[in-house]
């Protein structure tokens, strides 16, 4: 597997552009099979997860054309099978949202328990309960879920806020007969983006981006064009990277409105920011510690918890980080402690970080996408040569990250 070799401890400078949101594009790929007509998708990040979902679609018999970088054309005129390839699906958590569109389009879907990052228990009960509410029948045999039935509109209340669960129910309900009412929905920008795309295809969705969504089912959807929204997690990661390395970096092509909770945290930590309509400039600042609590949108994103922990190692004082979304998402900190971080774990959900500390260069391994990126930030902070293994995990969500970081002065190479 590829690895990164990083010579850290240097300040960076320059401009870095944000790519399209992986988590938005993945759902549009899944939703594209709700229509037999062609869907054109632009501003798609060239990352491993997009490659994986393209493979899943092709395996279903869907035509996926990649005419140029960042653009895809998807035509699901026919779907040859309703079985989602188990080998690929186990590598990609987002494969679960394909179940809704395949079920809505064909009346049947078979799939394995999805894979992805190992960051805690990620049950699929919310999907199964939602499909049941729409009238589907479910059984499980030979390590595959088998769901079938003609979907009808219904009222469904999410027992826990779920981003992918909300997205799946938007897709399934779009072709269900009658009206569907969803309550306690997730409110992430990616959900509103998905609803906007579906509405451009002829769906009738109201309230997306709020906890209360109404969908009037339609008989069919048409093709459409879609431009992927900027990746708010990537933009936030770059902002934290700049602050942690005390670098002057301009982050362009982003949507700052999607990251208000991060800007509050960074300002509280003493970071100097210049925010415009589509860019953010981070100016080197003296850091002071701050407490951080992850929460569903519009709260502080769980996907930025790992990078902000690295930031706190460089801030003066002791800060508390409370992870409320995933129960195993703080275990990555063991390696950061070996790099010199002063971390105290109170329980699986809460840790304290005391700073500032000098991080030591060392060999580390990416356990998952976001922790892998946090290690990369830590390696850029630490003086000396670090080796970061299993960078496939980072490639899943960040397009050619080493090339983009080199343009702002980072000493990083892929071997």
Strand runs (DSSP E) across 191-278, as ranges? Answer: 204-206, 212-216, 224-227, 248-252, 272-275
**Tell me: the pLDDT tens digits for 346-374?**
999 999 999 999 999 999 999 999 999 99
Distances (CA, A) of 243 to 175, 196, 374: 46, 34, 13
Low-confidence winner among 38-47, 89-98, 252-261, 285-294 (lowest mean pLDDT): 89-98
Residues 106 and 236 in one domain: no
160 is in an annotated binding site: no
Residues 295 and 241 in one domain: yes
Residues 174 and 38 in one domain: yes
Nearest in space to 96 (alpha carbons), one of 174, 183, 20, 165: 165
Residues 199 and 242 in one domain: no
Q: Report DSSP letters for 135-181, one per residue.
A: T-EEEEETTEEEEE---B--EEE-SS--HHHHHHHHHHHHTSBSEEE
pTM for this predicted structure: 0.95
Boundary-marking domain end, from 205, 227, 249: 227
d(CA 218, CA 366): 44
**Number of domains into which the chain is organized:** 2
Q: Which of 117, 185, 187, 309 is catalytic?
A: 117
pLDDT of residue 326: 84
Do 16 and 247 contact (CB within 8 A), yes or no?
A: no
Residues 30 and 106 in one domain: yes
d(CA 156, CA 134): 9
**Tell me: the pLDDT tens digits for 20-55?**
999 999 999 999 999 999 999 999 999 999 999 999
Mean predicted confidence (pLDDT) in 271-299: 98
pLDDT of residue 116: 46
Boundary-marking domain end, from 211, 227, 243: 227
pLDDT above 90 as % of the chain: 91
Q: Give SS3 for 20.
A: strand
Residues 187 and 311 in one domain: no
For the chain, helix (H) and strand (E) counts, in that order, are 14, 23
347 is in an annotated binding site: no
Residues 197 and 133 in one domain: yes
Output the average pLDDT for the chain: 95
Nearest in space to 402 (alpha carbons), one of 5, 42, 116: 5
How many Cβ atoms from other residues are within 10 Å of residue 91's Cβ?
17
**Tell me: the pLDDT tens digits for 189-241?**
999 999 999 999 999 999 999 999 999 999 999 999 999 999 999 999 999 99
Residues 293 and 208 in one domain: no
d(CA 380, CA 61): 44
Which range marks the domain in which residue 376 is found? Answer: 4-19+230-414
Residues 203 and 331 in one domain: no
354 is in an annotated binding site: no
Residues 177 and 278 in one domain: no
DSSP secondary structure letter of residue 34: G
303 is in an annotated binding site: yes
pLDDT at 66 exceeding the cut of 70: yes
Residues 172 and 286 in one domain: no
pLDDT of residue 115: 57
pLDDT of residue 60: 97
d(CA 411, CA 406): 6
Report the side by side order of strands in the sheet with 179-183: 155-157, 179-183, 212-216, 204-206
pLDDT at 93 exceeding the cut of 90: no
**Tell me: the pLDDT tens digits for 113-130?**
875 444 444 578 999 999
CATH assignment at residue 379: 3.65.10.10
Judge if the upstream peptide bond of residue 40 is cis by omega within 30 degrees of 0. Answer: no
Boundary-marking domain end, from 209, 227, 245: 227
Give percent helix, percent strand, percent coil of the chain, each to the nearest 5.
35, 30, 35
d(CA 120, CA 125): 15
pLDDT at 180 exceeding the cut of 50: yes
Q: Tell me the H-state helices in 282-344.
A: 305-312, 333-338
Mean predicted confidence (pLDDT) in 289-294: 98
Does 309 qualify as catalytic in the annotation? no
325 is in an annotated binding site: yes
Residues 128 and 174 in one domain: yes
């Amino acid at each position: 597997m590829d690895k990164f070799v990083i010579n850290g401890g240097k300040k960076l400078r320059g401009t870095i552009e944000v790519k399209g949101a992986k988590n938005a594009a993945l759902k549009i790929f899944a939703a594209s099979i709700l229509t037999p007509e062609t869907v054109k998708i632009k501003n798609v990040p060239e990352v491993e997860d997009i490659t994986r979902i393209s493979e899943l679609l092709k395996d279903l018999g869907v035509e996926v054309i990649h005419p140029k970088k960042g653009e895809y054309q998807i035509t699901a005129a026919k779907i040859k099978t309703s079985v989602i390839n188990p080998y690929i699906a186990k590598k990609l958590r987002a494969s679960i949202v394909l179940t809704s569109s395949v079920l809505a389009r064909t009346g049947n879907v078979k799939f394995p328990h999805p894979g992805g990052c190992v960051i805690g228990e990620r049950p699929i009960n919310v999907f199964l309960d939602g499909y049941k509410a729409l009238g589907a029948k479910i059984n499980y045999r030979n390590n595959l879920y088998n769901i079938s039935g003609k979907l009808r509109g219904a009222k469904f209340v999410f027992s826990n806020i779920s981003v992918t669960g909300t997205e799946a129910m938007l897709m399934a309900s779009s072709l269900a007969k009658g009206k569907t009412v969803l309550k306690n929905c997730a409110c992430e920008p990616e959900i509103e983006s998905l609803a906007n795309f579906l509405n451009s295809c002829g769906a009738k969705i109201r309230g997306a981006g709020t906890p209360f969504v109404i969908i009037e089912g339609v008989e069919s959807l048409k093709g459409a064009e879609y431009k992927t929204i900027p990746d708010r997690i990537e933009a936030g990661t770059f902002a934290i990277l700049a602050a942690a390395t005390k670098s002057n970096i301009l982050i362009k092509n982003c949507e700052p409105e999607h990251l208000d909770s991060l800007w509050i945290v960074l300002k509280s930590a003493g970071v100097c920011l210049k925010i415009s309509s589509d860019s953010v400039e981070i100016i080197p600042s003296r850091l002071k510690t701050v407490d951080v609590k992850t929460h569903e949108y519009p709260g502080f994103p769980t996907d930025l918890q790992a990078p902000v922990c690295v930031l706190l190692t460089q801030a003066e004082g002791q800060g508390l980080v409370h992870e409320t979304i995933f129960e195993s998402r703080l275990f990555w900190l063991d390696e950061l402690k070996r790099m010199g971080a002063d971390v105290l774990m109170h329980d699986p959900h809460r840790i304290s970080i005391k700073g500032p500390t000098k991080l030591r260069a060392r060999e580390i391994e990416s356990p998952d996408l976001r922790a892998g990126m946090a290690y990369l930030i830590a390696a850029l902070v630490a003086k000396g040569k670090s080796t970061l293994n299993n960078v496939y995990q980072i490639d899943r969500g960040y397009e050619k990250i080493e090339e983009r970081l080199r343009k702002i002065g980072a000493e990083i190479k892929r071997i």
